[in-house]
Each structure stands twice: as structure tokens, then as C-alpha cells.
Amino acid sequence: MKSQVSTREATSDLLFVILGNGISAFAYSWVLVALNIISGGVTATSMIAGRLTPLSVTFWTNAITLVCLAASLLFLGRRNFLNSIVSSLSYMGWFSLAQAVPVHVPLPVWLSLPLAGICVGVGYYLCIAHHASTAGLDVFALVIHAKWEKFPVATSLRVINLLILTIGAWQFGLHSFLLGLVFIIIYTQTLSLLEKRFGVAL
């Protein structure tokens, strides 16, 4: 009976992790990348690197994701690491698909940006609530939370993303910086509310 429950839990983990990454990847690709909005994290870092090198945003997203996945192996548990492998592969797949099939979101920025923020917040939570990171910079936020529980994942993730946002501001300009700031606040607040309500799984 215990094995059956474990199998059910493992299957649930994988399904929610894949779903969470799909929600996040399409929101990032169809809204933030399309509007050249930097937002912290792997996608923004990839957008900055894409501006500075001849390599594509997709290449940098996949490469940085692999680096973060290696970091999760060093600092997080086996279950989290294995689920993060699925997470990273599904994000790379979803993001590549979204980039290959670009869609113009017929909504004004003031509406599409908050919706993207909510989607990404939900997507991130689905991953961390099912024993996974997104194999992105949230790995470091999860490590901080594992070592010092008083630091919520959402708070650490907000700080990390704001640092990336500040670094990228000179490349994308003040307008992109301000929109990215709004996005970070919305998605980390969404994550924070879910984290407080339902907790996280490490």
C-alpha cells in the first residue's frame, strides 16, 4: 500500500511540475520576451546574454538551466533533484515550443503583464510544492529556505531577481526595467501568498 501511495505521489509530482513549467514558459515567452521586458531569473539573464552574444535566447535559457540544475544536485535532496531534471527538461521543451510558435497577445501591457506575473507565480509554486525547483535561480532561494526557514522562498527569489533586473537595466532601458519590476512584484507576491497558504516542499 505504501508503494502504491509513493507511486501516486511521484506521478502527481511529475504532472504538476510539467504543468507548472508549461504555464511559466508560455507566459515568459509570449509576454516578457515578446515585449523585451527583463524580469530577473534565467529568462532575463538569457535575454541579456542574447543581446551581448550571437547566440539565441533559447540557447542561453537551456544552457543556464543546465547550470542551475547542476547546482541543485549539490545543495538539494535526491527527490528534489530528480524532479528538477523533469522540471528543467519540460521548461526547455515548453519554452522552445513557445518561441517556435510565437503568438501576439492581443492585450495591453497593463493587463498582459499582471496576467503573466500571476501565471509565473502559480507555475513556480506548482514546482516547489511538488518537491522540485524550476532548475532556475529559484534553486538558490530554495537552498536559502532549506538552511534558514525564516527566509521565505518568495522573498529570496524577489531579491535575486531584483539583482538581475538591476544588472540588465542598462541593456534594456528604464521602461523595460520598470515593467520588469512590476512583473517581479506581482509574481513573487503570488508565490508568497501560495507559499503562506499551502507551504512548500523541499
Residue 2 in domain: no
99-142: per-residue pLDDT in tens?
A: 998 788 788 989 999 999 999 999 999 999 998 888 788 898 99
In angstroms, rounded to a whole number, what is the distance separating the alpha carbons of residues 69 and 135? Answer: 5
Residue 95 in domain: yes
Q: Indicate the angle between helix axes 109-128 and 153-198, nearest 10 degrees.
A: 80
Question: 3-class DSSP state for residue 76?
Answer: coil
Residue 6 in domain: no
Residue 7 in domain: no
Domain that holds residue 78: 12-198
Residue 183 in domain: yes
Residue 190 in domain: yes
Residue 4 in domain: no
Residue 136 in domain: yes
152-180: per-residue pLDDT in tens?
A: 999 999 998 898 888 788 777 888 889 98
Query: How many domains does the chain contain in total?
Result: 1
